[in-house]
């Protein structure tokens, strides 16, 4: 007799959720059509459709990578015998596994890599072999947090996956190419789940408000409260439903039929930030962030950064502003500032919120405490002003291109001195047009590393004028 320990949780889930269960549990999708988001994985003929026995739209060779939304980690056909679900928390990995258990007649077993070990895995595999041989019933094994398994623990899954004793559905929040052994990954289909959009969550909230197993129309959700709830959720469906339930409970306890913004704030202890991403506040707070960095007030800068993050500002917008600040306000006083800002922007684009808040904080602190110089900013603007005023002038003849036929007859390149042939690598010759010859656009400060550039600029300018000295 196989142990009931591994099937009890799955069997409980297959029963209808009682009214006393949390809203997030009651609203858990029971079919693929109820799943919020992930439409790229739910097209007809996709691996998940095929896994639950819905082959509509799939040809005999199975779905393509593009149409099905998945790819075989090691190449080859996308047969859905084992599936990896990769994505951040709260976007539906466990939900998809639950839907599979509801939509198939397969035996469903759930384990968590946090609490299970090799012993438990082998017990499930032995039970799957007995169920398959004795009762003809296939087993779906849902393994949550598989990245927490050691190499030896992951190795214990290989025979079951190789011989198809179980259909493995493994969930992970970390990149499986780094956290899962290659033999296991190459035998599985990798499906990448995308973060839920505000529209995905709006649909989920609307169903929760009206569905009989949800709030059954007991309360309504005004637009301003919904907008704040979406900011609180941060793309996490479980968090959105939990906040909705808390707000609904507070409203009903006060005899109200509407979840007001104040009621939601009180119930979740999180104030709505007065910040319109399309209005004045968007630009005012962004301006305050940059001016605080420019003024080297690291604490004020972090305050405005926090306001932007809490209001749901696009992290890429924040990162772009930091890159601009690195050149406009710091420049050569700390040449590494731009490198820090660019690296932060790249990291933000790859990881997103909530982890991106740490990267943005690091970059903001570095920029705020860096020595400041706007010399690069003023230099280019001064040069542009002269060009726009018509002070362009002809390029000196000795600097003109002399590589084409007839150029020498025109005198192009004559008298040009090749700096690399001269001591110090500097030739005392005119480079700028006559109209702006001798003009100084770059006026370096003595702040930070720019002091070195100031000394270099003075020495080079003297050599260009033909003055001797170092």
Of 52-56, 152-156, 205-209, highest mean pLDDT: 205-209
pTM for the full predicted model: 0.49
Residues 470 and 108: their CA atoms lie apart, in Å, by: 80
Whether 421 contacts 438, CB under 8 Å: no
- Share the mean pLDDT of the chain: 77
DSSP conformation letters of 158-170? HHHHHTTSSEEEE
Instruction: Inform me whether the pLDDT recorded for 1 exceeds 80.
Output: no
Segment 1-7 mean pLDDT: 38
Residues 184 and 150: their CA atoms lie apart, in Å, by: 13
pLDDT tens figures, 7-34 = 334 444 444 555 568 888 888 887 777 7
Segment 136-162 mean pLDDT: 84
Task: Tell me, letter by letter, the H, E, C secondary structure of 158-218.
Answer: HHHHHCCCCEEEEEECCCHHHHCCHHHHHCCEEEECCCCCHHHHHHHHHHHHHCCCCCCCC
Domains of the chain: 4-192 (3.40.50.300), 198-268 (1.10.8.60), 280-369 (1.20.272.10), 398-464 (1.10.3710)
Instruction: Inform me whether the pLDDT recorded for 169 exceeds 50.
Output: yes
What share of the chain has pLDDT > 70, as a percent?
77
pLDDT tens figures, 34-93 = 788 777 777 777 777 776 665 444 433 333 333 334 444 444 333 446 888 888 776 778
Residue 269 is predicted with a pLDDT of: 65
Strand partners of residue 143: 111, 170
Q: What element of type H or E holds 287?
A: helix 280-294
pLDDT tens figures, 93-144 = 877 877 776 666 677 788 888 888 888 888 888 888 887 765 557 788 888 8
Instruction: Inform me whether the pLDDT recorded for 339 exceeds 90.
Output: yes
């Amino acid at each position: 007799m196989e142990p009931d320990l591994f099937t009890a949780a799955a069997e409980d889930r297959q029963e209808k959720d009682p009214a006393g269960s949390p809203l997030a549990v009651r609203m858990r999708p029971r079919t693929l059509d109820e799943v919020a988001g992930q439409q790229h994985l739910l097209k007809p003929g996709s691996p998940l459709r095929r896994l639950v026995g819905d082959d509509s739209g799939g040809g005999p060779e199975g779905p393509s990578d593009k149409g099905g939304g998945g790819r075989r980690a090691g190449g080859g056909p996308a047969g859905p015998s084992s599936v990896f679900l990769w994505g951040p928390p709260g976007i539906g990995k466990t939900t998809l596994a639950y839907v599979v258990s509801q939509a198939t007649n397969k035996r469903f077993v759930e384990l968590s890599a946090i609490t299970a070990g090799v012993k438990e895995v082998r017990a499930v595999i032995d039970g799957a072999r007995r169920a398959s041989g004795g009762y003809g019933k296939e087993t779906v094994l849902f393994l949550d947090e598989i990245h927490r398994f050691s190499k030896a623990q992951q190795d214990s899954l290989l025979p079951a996956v190789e011989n198809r004793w179980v259909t493995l559905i493994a969930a992970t929040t970390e990149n499986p190419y780094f956290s899962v052994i290659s033999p296991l990954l190459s035998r599985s289909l990798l499906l990448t789940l995308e973060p839920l959009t505000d529209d995905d969550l709006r649909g989920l909230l609307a169903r929760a408000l009206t569905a009989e197993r949800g709030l059954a129309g007991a309360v309504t959700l005004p637009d301003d409260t919904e907008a704040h709830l979406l900011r609180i959720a941060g793309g996490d469906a479980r968090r959105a439903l939990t906040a909705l339930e808390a707000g609904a409970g507070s409203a009903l306890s006060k005899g109200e039929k509407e979840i007001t913004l104040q009621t939601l704030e009180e119930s979740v202890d999180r104030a709505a930030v007065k910040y319109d991403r399309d209005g004045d506040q968007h630009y005012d707070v962004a301006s305050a962030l940059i001016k605080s960095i420019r003024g080297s007030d690291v604490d004020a800068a972090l305050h405005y950064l926090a306001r932007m993050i809490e209001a749901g500002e696009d992290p890429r917008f924040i990162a772009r502003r930091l890159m601009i600040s690195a050149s406009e306000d710091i420049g050569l006083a700390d040449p590494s500032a731009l490198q820090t800002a660019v690296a932060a922007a790249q990291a933000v684009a790859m990881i997103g919120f909530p982890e991106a808040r740490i990267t943005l904080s690091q970059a903001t602190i570095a920029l705020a405490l860096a020595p400041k110089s706007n010399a690069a900013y003023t230099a280019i603007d001064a040069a542009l002003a002269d060009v726009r005023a018509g002070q362009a002038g002809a390029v000196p003849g000795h600097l003109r291109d002399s590589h084409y036929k007839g150029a020498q007859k025109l005198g192009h390149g004559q008298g040009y001195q090749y700096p690399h042939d001269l001591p110090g690598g500097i030739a005392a010759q005119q480079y700028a047009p006559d109209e702006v010859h001798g003009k100084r656009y770059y006026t370096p400060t003595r702040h930070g590393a720019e002091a070195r550039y100031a000394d270099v600029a003075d020495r080079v300018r003297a050599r260009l004028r033909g003055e001797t000295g170092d």
